[in-house]
Amino acid sequence: MNKDIKIVNNIEEILLKEELSKQDIISLLNANEHEKTSIFAKALQIKREQIGNKVWFRGLIEFSNLCSKNCFYCGIRSGNTNVHRYEVTDNEIIDAVNYAYNNQFGSIVLQAGERTNKSYIQRITDIIRKIKKLSNGELGITLSLGEQTEETYRKWFDAGAHRYLIRIEVSNRELYKKLHPSDNNHIYDKRIEALQLLQKIGYQVGTGVMIGLPFQTIENLAEDLLFFKDFGIDMIGMGPYIEHEDTPLYQYKDTLLSKKERFDLSLKMIAILRIMMKNINIAATTAMQSIDPLGREKALKVGANIIMPNLTPVKYRSDYLLYEDKPCINEEAEECKNCLEARVKMAGDEIAYGEWGDSRYFFNRQKSH
Ligand code: 5AD
Ligand code: SF4
Ligand code: FES
């Protein structure tokens, strides 16, 4: 029998299974150009059945690039002295929030580097309350503010935040250690504990990984997908790792997959995740678009259903460069909105304005507890 045909059958057979094993996922991640079309078609079919053609917007406000951490991959790590540090004022945050509210974005994301001092925590609490008030409780609030104490997570939850994003970055403990300084500030177990605490408190919890990192294997990526499933994660944001000159990992740039390969692997990761976790929220991340101008549309076509338009005031955007070639550095909120509307349409989807777009998976998870 022709060997190629046997492999095609294999992928088709895997796609018929209820549960994917690690070996199945590895086979899917290794699928060739021809085989991957079946994976993408299946993922799109599941998205259409479970979610329809809706895409939800989350207005992203990157309100500060101050960070106490020093992750080896990140352009705004504390050790990078070439970064001009900024902090968006409360009024500017509220302006961006008003833009989101007036334009019927169902929710906003407050994202910043990690800080844990008392006055900062209080400031965030106050901003969350303000946002709830000005939008009559209508705007959903997602936080992406790094590791905090249980008390802080609770405080922000009680103030009105209902989702929290904290990427595991890589689920393999050894690889995590290689990508972070070995100090008390970058502990794998604390990262895991953060996800557990957030779930316990009642947040919808989002996590994610970078794809195509130095030292990362296909097996690691398969483990990442299984990690999301085992953990019962509600939302995922993942995308290609993109090198940044002012980071320690830059020295490995010649060992990386090509950007195109990292992009293709990211699309496969999204598609396989949609097949494994049918009704979670999956973001078409900005990093996808930094490699391929049509990256976010392509992500929507293989299972993603969330887009995070950037609402950070333009004057700060070039200082929030976690990686190279980040798109939308000079575009005002309105331009990105119009641009994304066209992009979503191109992908055959529709923006669901004025809806929170909570992960259905989350409600099922709540019920089963
Ligand atoms: N390439 C891609 N993504 C990155 N992030 C940080 N640095 C990079 C990079 N060089 C991601 C991390 C972090 C999120 C906010 O941005 O996953 O959690
Ligand atoms: Fe800080 Fe996040 Fe960058 Fe790590 S990835 S240095 S926590 S902003
Ligand atoms: Fe920002 Fe297209 S999404 S300009």
pLDDT (tens digit per residue) in 192-247: 999 999 999 999 999 999 999 999 999 999 999 999 999 999 999 999 999 999 99
The dihedral sign for the CA sequence 67, 180, 306, 331: positive
Q: Is 322 in the pocket of ligand 1 (CB under 6 A)?
A: yes
Spatial separation of the C-alpha atoms in residues 66 and 120, rounded to whole Å? 11
Instruction: Give distance in angstroms: CA of 320 to centre of ligand 2.
Output: 11
Average pLDDT over residues 88-92: 97
Domains of the chain, first to last: 2-368 (3.20.20.70)
CB-CB neighbours of 325 under 10 Å:
13
Task: Kindly give the pairing relationship between strand 140-144 and strand 163-165.
Answer: parallel
Contact (Cβ atoms closer than 8 angstroms) between residue 216 and residue 178: no
The dihedral sign for the CA sequence 251, 252, 253, 254: positive
Closest CA to 356 of 197, 204, 194, 195: 204
Q: Is 67 in the pocket of ligand 1 (CB under 6 A)?
A: no
pLDDT at 8 (0 to 100): 47
Average pLDDT over residues 276-303: 96
Give the number of the ligand closest to the Cα of residue 328: 3
* pTM for this prediction: 0.95
Average pLDDT over residues 322-351: 93
Half-sphere exposure of 61 (CA within 13 A, CB side): 28
Average pLDDT over residues 125-153: 97
Looking at the CA of residue 74, tell me the nearest atom of ligand 1: 7
Average pLDDT over residues 303-320: 95
Instruction: Give distance in angstroms: CA of 308 to centre of ligand 3.
Output: 10
Spatial separation of the C-alpha atoms in residues 250 and 247, rounded to whole Å? 6
Spatial separation of the C-alpha atoms in residues 169 and 60, rounded to whole Å? 19
Helix (H) or strand (E) holding 349: none
Average pLDDT over residues 151-172: 98
pLDDT at 369 (0 to 100): 54
Q: Which residue owns the Cα nearest ligand 3 atom 4?
A: 336
Residues comprising the chain, all counted: 369
Q: Which residue owns the Cα nearest ligand 3 atom 3?
A: 336
